[in-house]
Amino acid sequence: MSAHPARRRGFLAAALVLLFHPGVIVANGDPATFVRVAKREISGKTGDPVKSVEVFHEGQAWLKDGRGTTLASARLSTAEIAAFHRLLADPAVLVATPECGPPLGADLPSAELVVQQPSRTVIVKVERHCRLPAGLDRLRAMLDDVERKYFSRR
């Protein structure tokens, strides 16, 4: 039995809002360069997500487990968020592709970099045998820094 038509419409509308965020504006009034950036670690054995770090344009950061449950949250500084906006303001960052050599092994872990912008979502699969272009490598390093600074066990 299918869902009520109003519920289907509501679900689709919610999905579109989550995907496109047409009205996102940063503090200085400029359109946002990103809505959300994330780094998902993927298990090499199962192909399932293991954990993810997500950073939102307004400064909220989340650490999630493989099922999407939020384990911890933090608030980034204005300077940290500005660094993400500066990096992602360059359109060349998201069109560069990783350079990959021969695979190193089938069960090595991999990762995905996700950049959700107001008009599109870009997902870059990062295998362990691939070398990232400078902009994407910087994005991964920034997300690693957020994870270390805010979510590492002390």
What is the pTM (predicted TM-score) of this model? 0.74
Place of tokens 């307004």: 58
- Please, which pLDDT band fits residue 106 given cuts at 50, 70 and 90? low
- For 141, the token pair is 């390093």
Q: Determine which of 6-20, 53-67, 70-84, 106-120 has the lowest per-residue pLDDT on average.
A: 6-20
CA dist., res. 52 & res. 143, Å (int) = 10
What is the DSSP pairing of strand 99-100 with strand 130-131?
antiparallel
- Reference 23, options 122, 119, 147, 116; nearest CA is 119
CATH 3.30.1560 fits 24-151, yes or no: yes
pLDDT digits (tens, 9 = 90+) for 5-27: 443 333 333 332 333 333 344 44
Give the residue extent of every domain in the chain.
Answer: 24-151
